[in-house]
Each structure stands twice: as C-alpha cells, then as structure tokens.
Structure 1
Amino acid sequence: MKRGWLVGLAVCLSLALAQGYRVQKGDTLYSIARRYGTTVEALKALNGLSGDVIRVGQVLQVSGTPAARPAAANRDWRFYQQGRAAWYGPGFQGRRTASGERFDTYGFTAAHRTLPFGTQVRVTNLRNGRSVIVRINDRGPYTRGYVIDLSYAAARAIGMSGSATVRIEVLR
C-alpha cells in the first residue's frame, strides 16, 4: 500500500514539475532531450510514447528548463559517429524529403535518424580517407545497421560504389 502511494506521489510531482514544449520543424526527440538535459527514454516515458515519431505542433511534456547553450567559442565537444553508409538511388529524384524539400540526386545532402535538419556534417570514407560535407535534410536510413544515407553526388565524392564504412562529424 505504501509503495502504491509513493509511486502516485512521484507521478504527481513529475507532472507538476513538467511543462509543455511545442515540437518545431526539425526537432527530434534527441534534440529536445538534449535541450532539456534529459534522455530520449525519459521523454518517451513522460509522454507515453512507444516509438520515436513526433509531429510539428505536438505538445510534449518536459521536465526542467532548457539548458543554457554554451557559447560557440567555448564548445569543446564534437558529435562523432561511425558506421555503414548507403546512398539514394535515382528513383528518389524529386521526391519530398522529411524536411519538406525536394530530393536532388546531385546535391550534397544526407538522411540521418536524429540530427536536426540543416546540420552540416563531414562524412569520411574510412577505406580511402576521402571526405565530403553534406547537409542533413531527411530522416533515415531505414536499413538496420546503417547510420547515414548519402545523395548520389556525395557518395561519388567519397568514392562509394555500394556501401562503405564512414565516420560522421558534426560541423554546425
């Protein structure tokens, strides 16, 4: 009986401390969690979400206040990721991306699961050391084990013919 009372009190306190955040274009659960100093798992639990999909205009409960952003000159961290990359085939030319823009096979763009739209990243092919800078404008990849989908032009720039192991570095 005491345990049920304590759980109820904890839920009431977390709801009382929670505030609403309206999802903006380009937001991901990861970016919102970072902004509020929490985890994706905590956000999902607080909002009863089972997946990672959120919609523009949706109001999410968040606890705490937005974390202060460090001045750009004081940034001593970088986001790095390593894994497999693939590229979009010609059948995607002109289709709408998750950001709402039309896909251009010859543009230097990419799809990533969590990085905000507009983020500039350097993608380096670890087999040959060649790099390209791309802008995130889509969500994906949806193939298990892959971390990024590149446009045809970006894949060619780093010497990819199929898939490749790459390193991703966020620039801004």
Structure 2
Amino acid sequence: ATIGLYNYKWFYLMLLFMTLYFLGFSIALGMYFVRSLRVPLWQVVLGLYLAAHVFMTAGMWFYHTQLLLGNLTTNEHLNLRKYPYLWETRAYVSGKTKTVYRNPWNISWWHNIQDRFHPSAASYTVPESHETVRQSQALLSTVTSSSSSSSTATPTPLRHVPTQEAV
C-alpha cells in the first residue's frame, strides 16, 4: 500500500502505537524474566525476537517524525540533491556565494504537523512567493516534454496534485 497525502496520519499513528506496544512488551518481558526462576529457552528466543521489533518501529517512527517536523516527503528527503527548489544561493557582502538548504514548505514545526495531518489545497500547490519552485517545475516540464516522443506529455508535478475524483 502507498502512504499518501490523505492516509499519512494513520500511518504515522500506527508507527507511534506499534512503537509504544513493542516498548511495553519489552519492559513486561524483562520483568517476567527477572521474576521467573526458570524460563524455557523457546520463550527467551521468541521474546527477544519480538522485543527486537521495538528498534525497527522506533526507527521508522523517528524518521517519519523528522520528515513531519520538516514538512518533507520521503522522496524529497532521499533525493535532496536532485531538487533545485530545496537549495538557495546566497550572496554575501564579501562577494562570496554559498548554496544553502531551504525547504519552501517548512512553515514551523506546529504548522507542519497540522498541514500533514489535515491537508488542504496548500499541501499540494506551489505558492506565488516560491519563484524557485516555479522555475524548477517549468524546467521539469520542459525536460519531460522533450524526452517524450509525443507532444502531449503531461509534466510530472513536484508534489501530488489530486484530481477532481480524489477530492
């Protein structure tokens, strides 16, 4: 199943509660082992196998918390260097220039959470103030149309734009 704009909150909450469940299970298992005089080997092996899942789910939960607070998608995070709209060149008085990371969708951690859990049209449209994003989108559409053999190729949007049926 794909994790998309409208089911992300359920995926995130599933990760959170799975992490809490496995953490609670690991604590209860540890208490059981400490209080028991003899524990069969199969219980130890099975318990440790299940307790190891806390690391996997907690890792996924921490990763998606990082994405949530920065208002990034997994694709944008993994391909950070590929998207020019995430980078800004700054000129300094000394004459030097520096390219720095800047996410145009980052609107503060609290608003990022609200935006991801309750998506609006702003979640998948490019605001007028983000000129670099618009330039990247225009560049992407020219590359897409020139690499395609047909002249009716539709450019790939930078973020998901739902159709009328999906809204």
Select the structure that is richer in helix.
Answer: 2
Q: Which has the higher contact order (CA 8 A, sep 6+)?
A: 1
Select the structure that is richer in strand.
Answer: 1
Q: Please give the TM-score of this superposition, normalised by the length of structure 2.
A: 0.25
Q: Please give the TM-score of this superposition, normalised by the length of structure 1.
A: 0.25
Bigger radius of gyration: 2
